[in-house]
């Protein structure tokens, strides 16, 4: 199979001292694993569309009008990210659907797997997957060609809807402590499936073992951020 | 039962000549039937939320990524109208859900009745109900207190998403002429249910017969606009 290969440019800056406990992102190595711009945009845009679909289902099934009301903006936020990413695709091709299509089946399957058996599970899934996937695509953006990375970060880093979800889940847990341990368990399962989606975004070189070693620190960082978000809900990640 | 009564102000301007074929809206009489501002906003906001929910379900179930893509903005548009109406409610009360709540059950029922048995029926329902209800609430806005009518018209008159729906339905009909006659029939049923929702928005005076006579010309006008929109799809209303 013919695959496009990105030029391997190494721009490593020697570090004299480790920066304390802070994780050092392997920016240059990650750049080699960053997909070309259009596949990156296609997958990121379809993921946001899928998050929007999950969120709008959550809005529809919300138990009260107040819940609908407070979650509406989160759905709008995902849709807005989707549309801004589609606008980026249109800078290069006229039919964005063609660029998103290759990712549709896998993301649709993922959405079904993490849909959850009830409303709180669905909400927790959304919180976990939006957090991890936005984060991961922000990391990948550092390696994008033509300096388009910062624009992608600006699009994906907006998260005005997340706090509403956190508040609602935290309220649910406060009212029912057993819900907390259940959702913590459910969240761990969602993390596994979500990391598979993240992994599918990587452009692989000829040396898969080395790819895995390079991506591992990024996953460690992404999961650390996920753990902090779960702490915010009072849940153990 | 205690109900708020709005002062009956007549500001009729004598008309010397009928304006050709153009329908004359009974603005002053309609003003008597316009609900107070908060119930108006509560019902209009919940209707837009409901249209958003229907649309996002339509996006989720769309047969292709291209269809999802072109319908996304329509969903965003309904959500945006909802949020702008909610912002109007917040100018007066801190909890918008309380103002929307009284309308939730009836609108939810309506949405279920017009949900449709398949994707094209759902799309046609949406097209019919968004068109009629936006229109009707724009007519009612003329009678709102404190001059807030024009702002409501500005919010409700935005319709950037409708063209995408029309294009998709028209394509479906072009590919399958039987679909056209089926959707025309389905559309007529949806009109009936939608006018019941519109009717439920009216503030009734002590004389229900006279209310009906006053509102009838508005319905005539709303249905004429609906017929033009259906013509745009190649469907007989």
Task: Name the residue facing B66 among A66, A69, A97 (closest C-beta).
Answer: A97
Distance CA A38, CA A172 (A): 40
Nearest to A72 among B49, B60, B101 (CB): B49
- A162-175 vs A65-90: helix crossing angle, rounded to 10: 150
Residues of A in contact with B53 (CB under 8 A): 56, 59-60
Q: Is the pLDDT of residue B142 over 60?
A: yes
More confident residue, A24 or B53: B53
- Closest-CA distance, B169 to chain A, in angstroms, reads 19
ipTM value, please give it. Answer: 0.73
B19 min Cα distance to partner chain A (Å) = 44
CA-to-CA separations, B33 to B23, B46, B134, B142, B218, in angstroms, rounded = 19, 20, 17, 11, 11
The answer to whether residue A217 neighbours chain B at the CB level (below 8 Å) is no
Rounded Cα–Cα distance for residues A50 and A64 (Å): 23
Mean pLDDT calculated for residue range B97-102:
96
Supply B149's token pair: 């009518």
Tell me the torsion sign for CA atoms A77, A79, A82, A83.
Answer: negative
Q: Give the confidence band of B127 by pLDDT, cuts at 50, 70, 90.
A: very high
Q: Which backbone phi and psi does B207 adopt, to 5 degrees?
A: -110, 90
Closest residue of chain A to B99, computed from CA coordinates: A65
**Confidence at residue A217, expressed as pLDDT on a 0 to 100 scale:** 87
Q: Do residue A68 and residue B49 have CB atoms under 8 angstroms apart?
A: yes
Mean pLDDT of B49-65: 95
Which region, left, alpha or beta, applies to residue B172 given φ > 0 means left and ψ of -120 to 50 means alpha?
alpha
Top residue of A51, A54, A72 to mutate, by most chain B CBs within 10 Å, is: A72
Residue A57 touches partner B, C-beta closer than 8 Å: yes
Query: Degrees (nearest 5) of the Cα angle B228, B229, B235?
Result: 90
CA distance A69 to chain B (A): 7
Return the closest-CA partner of residue A9 out of A191, A128, A142: A142
| B23 close to A (CB below 8 A) | no
Q: Which residues of B touch A64 (CB under 8 A)?
A: 97
B92 contacts B40 by C-beta, under 8 angstroms:
no
B101 → chain A, closest CA residue: A65
Q: Where are the beta strands (DSSP E) in A66-155?
A: none
Confidence (pLDDT) at B41: 96
| Distance separating alpha carbons of residues A90 and B224, to the nearest angstrom | 38
| pLDDT at residue A22, as a whole number | 41
**Interchain CB contact of A108 with B (< 8 Å):** no
Specify the long-range contacts of residues A178-183, CB closer than 8 Å, at least 24 apart.
Answer: A179/A120, A180/A234, A180/A235, A183/A120, A183/A121, A183/A124, A183/A233, A183/A235
- What is d(CA B237, CA B225) in angstroms, rounded to the nearest whole number? 10
Cβ burial of A193 (10 Å; 0-12, 13-18, 19+) is middle
Rounded to the nearest integer, the mean pLDDT of chain B is 85
| Domains, chain B | 28-232 (1.20.1260.10)
Select from B70, B180, B187 the least CA-distant residue to B124. B187
Give whole-number Cα distances, A165 to A21, A37, B53, B80, in Å: 31, 31, 18, 19
Written as six digits, the tokens of A83 are 């549309």
Q: What are the average pLDDT values for consecutive 10-residue runs of chain A, which has 237 residues?
A: 40 39 47 87 97 95 94 93 96 95 96 95 95 94 87 88 90 92 94 93 82 86 93 82
Q: Identify from A51, A58, A68, A126 which residue to disrupt to test chain B contact, counting B C-beta atoms within 10 A and taking the largest count.
A: A68
- For chain B, say whether A158 makes contact (Cβ under 8 Å): no
Q: Would you call A83 and B68 a contact, using CB atoms and an 8 Å cutoff?
A: no
Q: Do A76 and B72 touch (CB under 8 A)?
A: no
Predicted local confidence at residue A23, as pLDDT: 40
Does residue B204 surpass a pLDDT of 90? no
The whole-number average pLDDT for the span B150-160 is: 88
Q: Does B235 touch chain A (CB under 8 A)?
A: no
Contacts of A53 in chain B (CB under 8 A): 56, 59-60
CB neighbours of residue A25 within 10 Å: 13
Q: What is the pLDDT of residue A162?
A: 84
């Amino acid at each position: 199979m013919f695959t496009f290969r990105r030029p391997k440019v190494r721009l490593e800056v020697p570090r004299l001292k480790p920066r304390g406990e802070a994780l050092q992102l392997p920016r240059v190595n990650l750049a080699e694993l960053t997909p070309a711009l259009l596949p990156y945009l296609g997958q990121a845009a379809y993921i946001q569309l899928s998050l929007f679909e999950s969120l709008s289902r959550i809005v529809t099934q919300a138990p009260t009008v107040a819940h609908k009301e407070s979650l509406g903006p989160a759905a709008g936020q995902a849709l807005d990210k989707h549309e801004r990413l589609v606008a980026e695709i249109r800078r290069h091709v006229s039919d964005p659907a063609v660029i998103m299509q290759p990712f549709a089946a896998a993301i649709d399957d993922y959405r079904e797997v993490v849909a959850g058996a009830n409303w709180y599970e669905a909400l927790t899934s959304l919180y976990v997957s939006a957090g991890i996937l936005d984060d991961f695509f922000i990391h990948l953006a550092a390696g994008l060609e033509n300096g388009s990375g910062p624009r992608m970060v600006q699009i994906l880093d907006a998260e005005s809807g997340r706090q509403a979800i956190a508040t609602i889940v935290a309220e649910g847990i406060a009212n029912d402590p057993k819900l907390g341990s259940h959702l913590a368990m459910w969240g761990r399962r969602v993390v596994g499936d979500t990391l598979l989606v993240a992994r599918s975004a990587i452009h692989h070189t000829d040396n898969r073992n080395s790819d895995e070693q390079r991506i591992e620190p990024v996953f460690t960082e992404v999961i650390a951020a996920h753990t902090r978000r779960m702490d915010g809900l009072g849940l153990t990640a």
